[in-house]
């Protein structure tokens, strides 16, 4: 299998009018992720580029696919100033058979138009699952994928606040409820359908059936990925959802605290028991960066999730710092990935999104 160095060397030949030298020398290539025969990275499209950025993408793909052992290449484009939502989603060049182990996933998403459902879960509430889901959804969209976000946290829906849509209501036309659109992605939340002052006192089965309805009966349009922000915890509701929804993979959000990790382990087990592949663990509030002096302190300890992931044999997707900006932007209705697309936090989410996208195998066409 080609190494990162070999890949970078091959990419030196990729250039275009407007670049100083080539995509590697100009520092436009992101961290390269190699997963078996699959290679994933992104190219930052500089403002100075003349012409079609997808030509760069295609040339880079060609170079990488020509290397020994490379079976698929996912090259995403990200913009220097704002995320590019390209009209053509990047396609994984796909092998017919899966290389490792039996594929226990449903062969196709039971929901028409939705290629993959990605569940974002946590063992308990308050670990930043919704913040992470929102930013991950936006980062996936920044890679050029068509993305939807369903806030399934019925007890404390946070999407309306996170996306600055508290007073918005979805359109109902001829008995069809349409997903709303914000920041280039499709969104839906129980929060849009209930009064804030009336807390939900539904029991589990009602919650599951309401959520299944939101998944199946809402007009989402064509989506590459639907990010499902699961209700926190690992109770019956979550288990039933994990069983009934054709989930392509799950991501677990955890804080570095041991207790949270114990909870996170329950989350892992829940998905493993129903044969949903775990795409990895994200450590949120991983480290504290002082907004005044920039110094980092590990308030909750640091690296716990990384060690735990290694022990559990699950990919570690990345650590997101505890930072005032992340909370501030969320509260103001524009998640940090959107508010500061060039900032350090957006970069972290982009890397996580690449690692997640690398693991989503496209559903094969039936014909
Ligand atoms: P959950 O969905 O797990 O209950 P939320 O995403 O609602 O958690 O986050 C809980 C609170 O913590 C929110 O106020 C959110 O803005 C804040 N928060 C989450 N992650 C971070 C972070 N990395 N840095 C700063 N604040 C964060």
> Cβ(303) to ligand 1 under 6 A?
no
Distance (angstroms) between ligand 1 centre and the Cα of 155 equals 16
Q: Where are the domains of the chain?
A: 4-79, 108-360
Contact 132, 120 (CB under 8 A): yes
- Atom of ligand 1 at shortest distance to CA of 322? 24
Tens-digit pLDDT profile for residues 37-57: 888 888 888 878 887 888 888
Q: Is residue 304's pLDDT more than 80?
A: no
Output the pLDDT for position 94: 38
**pLDDT confidence bin for 197, thresholds 50/70/90:** low
Output the pLDDT for position 286: 79
| CATH class of segment(s) 4-79 | alpha beta
**pLDDT confidence bin for 63, thresholds 50/70/90:** very high
**Which range (175-189, 197-211, 271-285, 325-339) has the least confidence?**
197-211
> Cβ(126) to ligand 1 under 6 A?
yes
Report the CATH architecture of 108-360.
Answer: 3-Layer(aba) Sandwich (3.40)
> Cβ(130) to ligand 1 under 6 A?
yes
Output the pLDDT for position 84: 37
Query: When comparing pLDDT for 73 and 83, which is higher?
Result: 73
**pLDDT confidence bin for 79, thresholds 50/70/90:** low
**pLDDT confidence bin for 33, thresholds 50/70/90:** confident
- Atom of ligand 1 at shortest distance to CA of 284? 23
- Atom of ligand 1 at shortest distance to CA of 327? 16
- Atom of ligand 1 at shortest distance to CA of 324? 25
> Cβ(125) to ligand 1 under 6 A?
yes
> Cβ(360) to ligand 1 under 6 A?
no
Q: E-strand spans in 172-269?
A: 172-173, 176-178, 180-182, 185-189, 218-219, 223-229, 249-254
Query: When comparing pLDDT for 207 and 134, which is higher?
Result: 134
Closest residue to atom 24 of ligand 1, CA basis: 322
Q: Which of 126, 131, 260 to mutate to test the pocket of ligand 1 (most atoms within 8 A of CB)?
A: 131
> Cβ(319) to ligand 1 under 6 A?
no
Closest residue to atom 5 of ligand 1, CA basis: 128
Distance (angstroms) between ligand 1 centre and the Cα of 128 equals 4
Output the pLDDT for position 156: 76
Tens-digit pLDDT profile for residues 120-143: 999 888 889 999 999 999 999 998
CA distances from residue 334 to 85, 165, 202, 237 in whole angstroms, order as listed = 17, 10, 30, 29
Q: Is residue 87's pLDDT more than 60?
A: no
Highest mean pLDDT among 92-96, 197-201, 232-236: 232-236
**Range 58-85 burial, b when 16+ CB lie within 10 A, else e:** ebbbebbeebeebebbbbbbbbeeebbb
> Cβ(121) to ligand 1 under 6 A?
no
Percent with pLDDT over 70 in the chain? 84
- Rounded CA-CA distance 55/153 in Å is 41
> Cβ(105) to ligand 1 under 6 A?
no
Mean pLDDT of 6-28: 93
**Which range (3-12, 169-178, 289-298, 339-348) has the least confidence?**
289-298
- Rounded CA-CA distance 133/139 in Å is 10
Query: When comparing pLDDT for 198 and 144, which is higher?
Result: 144
Output the pLDDT for position 228: 95
Distance (angstroms) between ligand 1 centre and the Cα of 334 equals 14
Q: Which of 120, 126, 128 to mutate to test the pocket of ligand 1 (most atoms within 8 A of CB)?
A: 128
Q: Is residue 91's pLDDT more than 50?
A: no
Closest residue to atom 15 of ligand 1, CA basis: 327
Q: Is residue 201's pLDDT more than 80?
A: no
Q: Is residue 350's pLDDT more than 90?
A: yes
Q: Is residue 82's pLDDT more than 50?
A: no
Closest residue to atom 8 of ligand 1, CA basis: 128
**pLDDT confidence bin for 154, thresholds 50/70/90:** confident
Output the pLDDT for position 81: 43
Output the pLDDT for position 37: 85
- Fold: same for 4-79 and 108-360: no
- Rounded CA-CA distance 267/307 in Å is 17
Q: What is the pTM of this model?
A: 0.76
Percent with pLDDT over 90 in the chain? 38
Distance (angstroms) between ligand 1 centre and the Cα of 287 equals 14
Q: Which of 152, 154, 325, 327 to mutate to test the pocket of ligand 1 (most atoms within 8 A of CB)?
A: 327
**Number of other residues whose CB lies within 10 A of the CB of residue 93:** 15
- Phi/psi at 130 (nearest 5 deg)? -70, -40
**Which range (129-138, 293-302, 341-350) has the least confidence?**
293-302
Closest residue to atom 6 of ligand 1, CA basis: 128
Quote the mean pLDDT of the chain. 82
Q: Is residue 362's pLDDT more than 60?
A: no
Cα 129–Cα 338–Cα 294 angle in degrees, nearest 5: 75
């Amino acid at each position: 299998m080609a190494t990162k160095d070999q890949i970078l060397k091959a990419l030196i030949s990729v250039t275009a009018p407007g670049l100083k030298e080539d995509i590697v020398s100009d520092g436009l290539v992101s961290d390269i992720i190699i997963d078996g025969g699959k290679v994933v990275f992104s190219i930052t499209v500089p403002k100075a580029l003349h012409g079609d950025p997808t030509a760069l993408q295609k040339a880079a793909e060609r170079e990488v696919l020509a290397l020994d052992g490379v079976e698929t290449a996912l090259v995403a484009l990200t913009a220097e100033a704002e995320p590019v939502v390209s009209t053509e989603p990047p396609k994984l060049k796909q092998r017919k058979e899966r290389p490792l182990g039996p594929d226990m996933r449903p062969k196709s998403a039971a929901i028409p138009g939705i290629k993959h459902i990605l569940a974002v879960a946590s063992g308990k509430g308050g670990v930043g699952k919704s913040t992470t889901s929102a930013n991950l959804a936006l980062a996936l969209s920044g890679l050029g994928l068509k993305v939807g976000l369903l806030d399934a946290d019925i007890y404390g829906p946070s999407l309306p606040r996170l996306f600055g849509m508290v007073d918005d209501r979805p359109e109902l036309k001829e008995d069809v409820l349409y997903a709303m659109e914000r920041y280039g992605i499709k969104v839906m939340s129980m929060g849009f359908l209930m009064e804030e002052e009336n807390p939900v006192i539904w029991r589990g089965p009602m919650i599951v059936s309401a959520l299944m309805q939101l998944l199946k009966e809402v007009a989402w349009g064509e989506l590459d990925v639907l990010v499902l922000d699961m209700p926190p915890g690992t109770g019956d509701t979550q288990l039933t959802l994990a069983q009934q929804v054709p989930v392509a993979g799950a991501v677990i959000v955890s804080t570095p605290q041991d207790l949270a990790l114990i909870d996170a382990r329950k989350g892992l087990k829940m998905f493993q028991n129903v044969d949903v592949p775990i795409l990895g663990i994200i450590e949120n509030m991983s480290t504290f960066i002082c907004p005044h002096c920039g110094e980092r302190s590990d308030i909750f300890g640091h690296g716990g999730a990384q060690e735990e992931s290694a022990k559990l044999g699950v990919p570690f997707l990345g650590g997101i710092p505890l930072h005032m900006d992340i909370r501030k932007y969320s509260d103001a209705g524009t998640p940090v990935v959107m508010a500061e697309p060039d900032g350090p936090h957006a970069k972290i989410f982009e890397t996580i999104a690449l690692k997640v996208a690398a693991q989503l195998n496209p559903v094969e066409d039936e014909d």
